[in-house]
Homo-oligomer: A and B are copies of this chain.
Amino acid sequence: MGSFPNNVVGGRSAANNGGPSVVDKGVDFAQYFCTYSFLYHQKEMLSDRVRMDAYFNSIFQNKHHFNGRTVLDVGTGSGILAIWSAQAGARKVYAVEATKMAEHARLLVKANNLEGVVEVIEGSIEDITLPEKVDVIISEWMGYFLLRESMFDSVICARDRWLKPTGVMYPSHARMWIAPIRSALGDQKMSDYELSMEDWYGFMDDTKTYYGVDMSVLTKPFSEEQRKYYLKTSLWNNLHPNQVIGSAAIVKDIDCLTATVEDIVEVKASVSSSITVENTWLCGYGGWFDVHFRGRNEDPAQQEIELTTAPSMENSTHWGQQVFILHPPIRANEGDNLNVSFSMNRSKENHRLMEVEFGCEITQYSGKLLPSLRNKFFIE
């Protein structure tokens, strides 16, 4: 056999763990949590200045939410948010981390002389118990396109079990955005796909010629596998703002204080977007998110902070944007109108991955209605 080392191919799929309803914790750990047990990966996140500035400012420009209060940090990782909360005057901070990273967090807390305030607890939030309810729940739970990783489930669980009725969520709100884009990625991926098929045909001939086995029956499944991989899987990309060719629309608006798992397990929206660029190409859709730190109505932030992962020249983040390719691209013009029906569900194979569907009706400025589009994608 000789499978590639895990880090080459493993990610092309995730084993069936029974789907969202039944999550095998061991499988989930193998597929998901282990990533976060590497300091290298923590460092990548801690080096994201946009991310760091937003959380840093949300805490230190709103000390009144932390001063003398109790805080729960869900998925503390290296412990940075817990440490900031303590530095902002928290009386007690519970820093919960499911991976061995908890040991590093403990070291970091001690080295910054906060072991009297920050208590690092190794365990998953669903399993652990706190001695008291808290005034603030802070967490950096956002995955690609917000909901990949499904970590907000754990924040909801923490909120329902441990947040005081008067408590505040950090962040307090989150939104998912989509917009029509132009991009060369589609042509690239299409030629990658075509090359891999050429390769297949050569392989098929050789196998017949040298080894007497006719592989042609596998051409269709192989091409489907490759189509999914190259064309139907969303791509991480740092879009330039001028690649966005139409108005961006919100497909999900989450109040972190009240949202339930039912509210986020499926995302459905019908939105419209108008093309804002002369004589261009619609090559696909971009997807991103933003979150806000506003406190709660009865106990608002003094300084509202926004963390956005929208396309930007100076302020790109490690989240980038997710790109969903349309191939072939479609001619588009200023004033054309897109009616987009968007839906996102969790993958049956792995509840932390997503399946996305875009429907699109294009009405040209002239009034002409183009044949409608329907495309399915996977976020892996």
A contact set with B: CB distance below 8 Å:
1-17, 24, 26-27, 29-41, 43, 45-47, 49, 52, 56, 75, 77-78, 80, 83-84, 87, 104, 107-108, 110-112, 140-144, 149, 151, 196, 200, 203, 206-207, 210-218, 221-222, 225-226, 229, 236, 317-319, 380
Contacts and interface: CB of A to CB of B under 8 A. Distances in A.
Contacts of A214: 111-112
Residue of A2, A4, A17, A226 with most partner-chain B CB within 10 A: A2
Given A27-B30, A38-B9, A112-B213, A46 B2 contact: no
B11 A10 contact: yes
Given A40-B226, A87-B212, 14 more contacts: A9-B38, A10-B35, A13-B34, A13-B38, A15-B26, A15-B31, A24-B26, A27-B30, A40-B222, A47-B203, A47-B206, A104-B218, A108-B213, A111-B216
B211 A80 contact: yes
Copies of this chain in the oligomer: 2
A143 B207 contact: no
Given A52-B211, A87-B212, A108-B215, A35 B4 contact: yes
Contacts of A14: 6, 30, 34
A250 B4 CA distance: 24
13 contacts: A1-B143, A2-B45, A3-B41, A5-B11, A6-B14, A6-B380, A7-B9, A10-B11, A10-B35, A24-B24, A24-B27, A52-B210, A107-B221
A221 to B, nearest CB: 6
A304 to B, nearest CB: 20
A140 B1 CA distance: 6
Q: Which of A83, A151, A196, A211 has the most CB of B within 10 A?
A: A211
A230 B16 CA distance: 32
Contacts of A218: 39, 78, 104, 107-108
B83 A213 contact: yes
A111 B38 contact: no
A245 to B, nearest CB: 25
B217 A107 contact: yes
